Amino acid sequence: MSDGPSHYHVSSAVVATLPPSTERVLAALGKMENVEIYGYSGGKIIVVIEGTSTGQLGACLSQISLLDGVIAANMVFEHVEEETQCNDGRVDKA
């Protein structure tokens, strides 16, 4: 049993790429943990990033921004959910 609720962070981000590099960036994003490609068009890629802290999301976004062919990677939205322990030991992932 933990001392308190744990947090689950979800963020969306827009990744702008040089058009000739988009496929290479998509391949790199597809290999990253906690990153899901939501869609892409015209050199812009929408991703969802998941983690346990804002810092973890920020570190992932920084890693994305350093990929060859990426012009910019900007967080658009972040949402935080609390995971709580029920009296019977079950975990409610809100």
- pLDDT tens digit sequence for 59-76: 999 999 999 999 999 999
CB-based burial, 60-92: b 16+ in 10 Å, e otherwise: bbeebeebebbeebebeeeeeeeeeeeeeeeee
54 within a domain of the structure (yes/no):
yes
Is 58 among the domain residues?
yes
Averaged pLDDT for residues 40-47: 96
Please determine, for residue 33, whether its predicted confidence score (pLDDT) is greater than 90.
Answer: yes
Task: Quote the distance between the C-alpha of residue 44 and its chain's center.
Answer: 16
Span between the terminal Cα atoms of the chain, in Å: 17
What pLDDT sits at residue 87? 64
Task: Examine residue 32 and state whether it is found in any structural domain, yes or no.
Answer: yes
What CATH number should be reported for the domain holding residue 49?
3.30.70.920
Task: With respect to residue 79, please indicate whether it lies within any of the assigned structural domains.
Answer: yes
**1: confidence class by pLDDT, cuts 50, 70, 90:** very low
92 to 10, 40, 50: CA distances (angstroms): 17, 33, 18
Is residue 34 scored above 60 in pLDDT? yes
Distance CA(16)–CA(2), nearest Å, equals 40
Structural domain containing residue 68 = 6-92
Give the C-alpha separation, 55 to 49, whole Å. 12
Domain membership of residue 19 (yes or no) is: yes
Domain count, the chain: 1
| 1 domain-assigned | no
